[in-house]
Chain A
Amino acid sequence: MTLAGPDGATDVGPQPRTPYVETASPEPHEPEDPDEPGEPDWVSDLSSSGPRHEEALRRLHALLLKAARHQVWRMRDQLPGVGAVTVDELATCAADDALVAILAKLGGFEGRSRFTTWAYKFAILQAANEVRRHAWSSREVCLPDDALWSDASAGPEQHAEATDLAAAVQHAMAVALTSYQRRIALALLVEQVPIDVLADRLGTTRGALYKTLHVARSRLRAHLTASGHLTTARGGTP
Chain B
Amino acid sequence: MTPDPRRLTSTDAQRLIMPTDPWLSCEDCFELTDRFAEELLAHPDTTHLPEMLVHLHACAACAEEAESLIVLLAADVGADPAAALDRLRG
Contacts and interface: CB of A to CB of B under 8 A. Distances in A.
A25 B26 CA distance: 30
A52 interface: no
B80 interface: no
Nearest to B18: A217
Interface string A109-120: 000111011101
B82 interface: no
B18 A114 contact: no
8 contacts: A70-B68, A71-B65, A149-B5, A169-B16, A189-B16, A210-B59, A214-B58, A218-B21
Contact of B25 (A151, A153, A210): A210
Interface of A: 26, 28-30, 67, 70-71, 74-75, 112-114, 116-118, 120-121, 124-125, 128, 132, 148-151, 153, 165-170, 173, 185, 189-190, 194-196, 206-207, 210-211, 213-214, 216-218, 220-221, 224, 230, 234-235
B52 to A, nearest CB: 13
- Chain B, interface residues (CB within 8 Å), range: 35 or more
Nearest to B72: A70
B73 A120 contact: yes
A26 B69 contact: no
Given A217-B19, A220-B17, A121 B33 contact: yes
Interface string B38-71: 1000000000000000000011110011001101
B58 A124 contact: no
A26 to B, nearest CB: 7
Nearest to A189: B15
Nearest to A113: B34
A235 B19 contact: yes
B8 A166 contact: yes
A195 B17 contact: no
Contacts of B27: 207
B8 A169 contact: yes
Contacts of A132: 61
Contact of A166 (B3, B9, B21, B64): B9
Nearest to A67: B72
Contacts of A167: 7-8
B50 to A, nearest CB: 13
B37 A190 contact: no
Closest 4 A/B residue pairs (Cβ) = A113-B34, A169-B13, A166-B13, A189-B15
A128 B68 contact: yes
A151 B18 CA distance: 21
Given A29-B77, A120-B73, A169-B8, A217 B16 contact: yes
Contacts of A150: 5
